[in-house]
Amino acid sequence: MTAMLWLIPAALFLGALGLLAFLWSTRAGQYDDLEGAAERILMDDDGPIVDEDED
Amino acid sequence: MAALEGDQAKWDPVRRSDHPATTGDAGYPAREEAGAHVRLTDAAQGLKSLDLAVEGARCAACIQKIEGALFKMDGVKQARLNLSTGRLAVRFFGADERAGDFIEALDALGYPARPYAAETVKDAQSAEEKRLLRALGVAGFAMMNVMLLSISVWAGDGEMDLATKTLMHWISGLIALPAVAYSGAPFFGSALKSLRARQVNMDVPISLAVLLACLLSIYETAMGHGEAYFDAAVMLLFFLLIGRWLDVRLRARAGQAARDLAALQARIAHRIDADGHVKAVPAADIRPGDRLLVQPGERFAVDGIIVSGQGPVDASLVTGETAPLDLKPGGEAWSGMVNLSRPLTLEATAASADSLLAEIARLVEAGEQSRSKYVRYADLAARAYVPAVFAMAGLTLAGWLVVGGSPHTAVMNAIAVLIITCPCAMALVAPAVQVVACGRLFQDGVLVKSGDALERLADADYALFDKTGTLTEGKPALVNADAVTPEDLALAAQLARGSRHPLSRAVARAAEQALGPGAVADDVREGSASFTGADLAADVAPAGDAALEAWLAVEGRAPVRFIFADRLREGAADAVAALRARGLPGEMLSGDRPAPVAEAAAALGLERFSAGLKPQDKIARIEALKAEGRKPLMVGDGINDAPALSAAYVSISMGSAADISRSAADLVIQGDRLDSLVRARDVARASRSRMMENFALANIYNAIAVPLAVFGLVDPLVAALAMSSSSIVVMLNALRLARA
């Protein structure tokens, strides 16, 4: 039973760590632009961007 | 197409360069115009930041194009587009007037943009969204940890000694109570508010169940016996918060409504002062009797009478009529029309606040108020559910006392009934289905502005269509391209490219499709029959619609006639027929002249149609239908449709519609594909039946759980299992919509 004395605090500590990570991520705007990040990975950002069609 | 949209956006020029010194007039959004959007964030370096709302950005290529174009401009330090919200944050050096250049550059790319006021409604909503998300995180954390302890209590049943069990319960309580206080606040607040208004909503039984579960658990734990329901309380909150968060998120995305109304109003007018000087003034400062100069491409700020100048104006968004109107001195002009080719001088007959556009904005507001009377399915369910639950708890209490149970047992069982009947699954039914349905429609190019719009679309039983721009393309197209030689077409197109007249655009488009660049023009005239001299040629009979034809005269050759018509959209007849097959008989309401309306109605198989209608006439027709007990769906696009869109039971506008109409409508069809109408109706119907199934599932759960609670057979394990399984079943059933 003495194992519980450290198991329960350990579980709570790990859980709280997860909660803090989640609260940080909402505050830091990680969920603000879910679609943009997925599309940006497709962009080649080497070299200047020139679009002949639209100019 | 893109070029045309770009130009249309330019008709409403937000040019800061000719912006007058800001006046403090109450009716004019001076603060919004000049101050709020451009904020000095770093005074020392002169770095400024600007938020723009950009329309039409969808993919990586759009991000690249938009950000790339801005980076190429002088002094732009940072440009970042948020694809989810359509917001573009620009940081730049230089004068505030640069903001106008950015907007023009974006317009030229085909992405209409306008300043975005950061401190408006939408931010309050996103703050609420974040608050709910944090509450959800806290509830999730508490649920996991309390469940960890509860499972060990359940698993150790019979072996665990009472002291350990009580310790477990106290630890659970220490985690659960702060979490309930934080995460439950949105529900408690809403329940209090509704009780104060002497009403009951779903949040009343929810709050009661959560609070009673906590109080009961504290009591039992303190007494050192019995069961604790801390796990059930936090789990309830977790599931409920999912539903609440989905609901707010959906509303936040839809947002925007009333704010867009002002955007279309021409903000600047050019007043001719007594000394002959032309001065740019805010539209709100115009008084009846003022003389105004309206440049080509400019939107009329107020209603008035033309005093000098003559030329065509585009009235399609105002009247629904495709052909440009030719205005002469003495002719009436309405706010919202666009001057096409020559400067006109106007004498204002109404102040900006009394002009047609403002009048229409008022009609839209009135319509929106009447619509708010609509009761959502979920609220209907709440009205029946809440009294039933309280009656059941009361009967349980009385029943146990009658059969001779102890007061303690009776109270415990009555509380168990209240906890177990917490309408968790019930509260999830509508948001879950609506989010899935809206997500699916979004993929099909349909934006749904509110969840209950889908419920109303499913209930609609009559369809009203606008003609111009809705069932037709809303712009003239060259119909006799075969009769014109390629050389003449190229020549005409070369002349036409410089003009913003709809017929010129049609010629240019036809030439782009058929040919490459043409030859050099030499002594050529293009225009109406009288202008080109074609009416002098004896062999030409005036045929068809004079407003929709143009002539090309080349020195020494017979004039060439170009005939135009507003073509029906692709799939228009199919869409009308498909809607009829789905229980929505159609009718056409148009502001256009009778002949083209009758022709279009015949081509689409619509027996009922009316022409020459004013906005008020369209509303009258809708009210008449409503009085018959019908639930009319209105599909439209023009400014003249906006009041009808907001008055109808449910409304859909085209993506290319006027801003005011898009904000008045419940659904917006992107890409102007009419078959999306049919898709939207199908998805709305499917989501309604899914919702009904979900209500049934939630009731089956109650049918099983409530008798157990009444007879005192519920323990925390049963409560936790029953509640979580019913919520999960409801969500899974909603997800089926995504595949069907």
pLDDT of residue B531: 59
Q: Which domains, and CATH codes, for chain B?
A: 2-119 (3.30.70.100), 123-253+378-432+686-739 (no CATH), 266-356 (2.70.150.10), 475-566 (3.40.1110.10)
Which chain A residues have a beta carbon less than 8 Å from that of B145?
A: 11-12, 15
**Is A1 an interface residue toward B (CB < 8 Å)?**
yes
Q: Do residues B382 and B423 touch, judged by C-beta distance below 8 A? A: yes
β-partners of residue B348 are B304
For tokens 């009808």, name the residue: B644
DSSP state of B470: I
> DSSP string covering B49-68, please?
EEEEEE-S--SHHHHHHHHH
Note the pLDDT of residue B711.
Answer: 86
pLDDT, position B369: 64
Question: What average pLDDT does range B483-487 have in this prediction?
Answer: 78
Q: Choose, from B107, B247, B452, B466, the residue flagged as catalytic.
A: B466
- pLDDT confidence band for B74 (50 / 70 / 90): confident
B28: confidence class by pLDDT, cuts 50, 70, 90? very low
Residue B180 tokens read as 């309930």
The listed range with the strongest mean pLDDT (A45-54, B640-649, B716-725) is: B640-649
Strands B268-272 and B113-115: unpaired
Q: Comparing B588 with B639, which gets the higher pLDDT?
A: B588
Q: Which residues on neighbouring strands pair with residue B93, listed in sequence order?
A: B47
Per DSSP, the residues of B262-325 read: HHHS--EEEEE-TTS-EEEEEGGG--TT-EEEE-TTPBP-S-EEEEE--EEEE-HHHH---SPE
Which of B2, B68, B82 has its CB closest to that of A33?
B82
Subunit contact A35:B83, Cβ cutoff 8 A: yes
Count CA atoms closer than 13 A to B591's CA, side-chain side: 27
pLDDT at B239 over 70: yes
pLDDT higher at B369 or B293: B293
Query: Does B8 contact A at CB distance below 8 Å?
Result: no
**pLDDT one-digit tens code per residue, B560-572:** 888 888 888 888 8
Burial B530-569 (b: 16+ CB within 10 A, else e): eebebeeeeeeeeeeeebbbbbbbbeeeebbbbbbbbbbb
Residues in chain B: 740
Please give the residue that has the higher pLDDT: either B635 or B487: B635
Check residue B470 and give its pLDDT.
Answer: 86
Question: B145 and A34: CB-CB below 8 Å?
Answer: no
B202 against B370, higher pLDDT = B202
Q: What band does B376 get if pLDDT is binned at 50, 70 and 90?
A: confident
More confident residue, B694 or B476: B694
Q: Which residues from A are below 8 Å from B148, CB to CB?
A: 11
Nearest residue of chain B to residue A15 (CA atoms): B141
In this complex, which of A12, A40, A48 lies closest to B63 when CB atoms are compared? A40
Q: Give B173 to chain A, closest Cα distance, Å.
A: 13
Predicted confidence band at B7 (pLDDT cuts at 50, 70, 90)?
A: very low
> What pLDDT score was predicted for residue B595?
84
Instruction: Verify whether the Cβ–Cβ distance A22 to B171 is below 8 Å.
Output: no
Tens digits of residue pLDDT in B425-446: 778 888 888 888 888 887 787 8
Report the 3 state secondary structure along B25-52: CCCCCHHHHHHHCCEEEECCCCEEEEEE
If contacts are CB pairs under 8 Å, which of residues 2-31 in chain A contact chain B? 4, 8, 11-12, 15-16, 18-19, 22-23, 26, 31
How high is the pLDDT of residue B21? 35
Residue A16: predicted pLDDT: 92
Q: B100-114, B361-375, B603-617, B684-698 — which is least confidently predicted? A: B361-375
Look at B527 and B66; give whichever has higher pLDDT: B66
Query: Which of B60, B145, B164 lies at the smallest CB-CB distance from A42?
Result: B60
Average pLDDT, chain B: 78
B60 near A CB under 8 A:
yes
Partner residue opposite A15 with nearest CB, options B67, B141, B171: B141
Average pLDDT over residues B20-24: 34
| Residue from A6, A14, A20, A22 whose CB has the most chain B CBs within 10 Å, to mutate | A22
Distance from CA of B84 to the nearest CA of A (A): 5
- A53 to chain B: which residues are within 8 Å by CB? none
Which of A8, A22, A51 shows the shortest C-beta gap to B171?
A8
Asked whether the predicted pLDDT for residue B540 surpasses 50, the reply is no
Task: Residue window 144-163, chain B: list those with CB within 8 Å of chain A.
Answer: 144-145, 148-149
Per-residue pLDDT tens over the stretch A1-55: 688 888 889 989 999 999 999 999 988 888 777 778 888 888 776 655 555 454 4
Q: State the pLDDT at residue B138.
A: 94
Annotated active-site residue B466? The verdict is yes
The minimum CA-CA distance between A19 and chain B, rounded to whole Å, is 6
Cross-strand partners of B344 = B294
* pTM greater than 0.80: no
Q: For residue B476, what is the DSSP state?
A: E
Mean pLDDT, residues B507-515 taken together: 74
CB contact under 8 A, A34 and B60: no
Per the model's pLDDT, the better-predicted residue between B135 and A44 turns out to be B135
> In this predicted model, which residue has the larger pLDDT, B207 or B250?
B207
pLDDT of residue B115: 67
Q: How far is CA A13 from the centre of its chain?
A: 21
CB proximity B85 to A under 8 Å: yes
Query: What is the rounded CA–CA span in Å between residue B539 and residue B537?
Result: 6
Overall size of chain A counted in residues: 55
Q: How confident is the model at residue B251 (pLDDT cuts 50, 70, 90)?
A: low
Q: Is the dihedral of CA B334, B338, B339, B340 positive or negative?
A: negative
Check pLDDT > 50 for residue B35.
no
| Number of other residues whose CB lies within 10 A of the CB of residue B3 | 14
Section B573-595 average pLDDT: 89
Q: At residue B282, what is the residue type?
A: P
Is the predicted pLDDT of residue B453 greater than 70, yes or no?
A: yes
Question: Phi/psi at B295 (nearest 5 deg)?
Answer: -80, 160
Average pLDDT (B11-21) is: 33
Mean pLDDT of B315-326: 72
pLDDT of B729 over the 70 cut: yes
Report residue B539's pLDDT band, with 50, 70 and 90 as the boundaries: very low
pLDDT tens column, B186-198 = 999 988 998 888 8
Percent of chain B residues past pLDDT 70, beyond the cut: 81
Residue B391 parent element (H or E) = helix B377-402
pLDDT (mean) for B300-308 = 85
Q: Element (H or E) spanning B253, and its range?
A: helix B230-254
Cα–Cα distance measured from residue B160 to residue B671, given in angstroms and rounded to the nearest whole number: 65
Please state which of the ranges A51-55, B325-329, B332-336, B671-675 shows the lowest mean pLDDT: A51-55
Q: Give the pLDDT confidence score for residue B682 in this predicted structure.
A: 93
Sign of CA dihedral B563, B569, B570, B572: negative
Which band of pLDDT confidence, cut at 50, 70 and 90, is reported for residue B40? Answer: very low
Q: Is the dihedral of CA B386, B388, B389, B395 positive or negative?
A: positive
Q: Compare A3 and B20 and report the one with higher pLDDT.
A: A3
Mean pLDDT for the stretch of residues B366-371 = 65
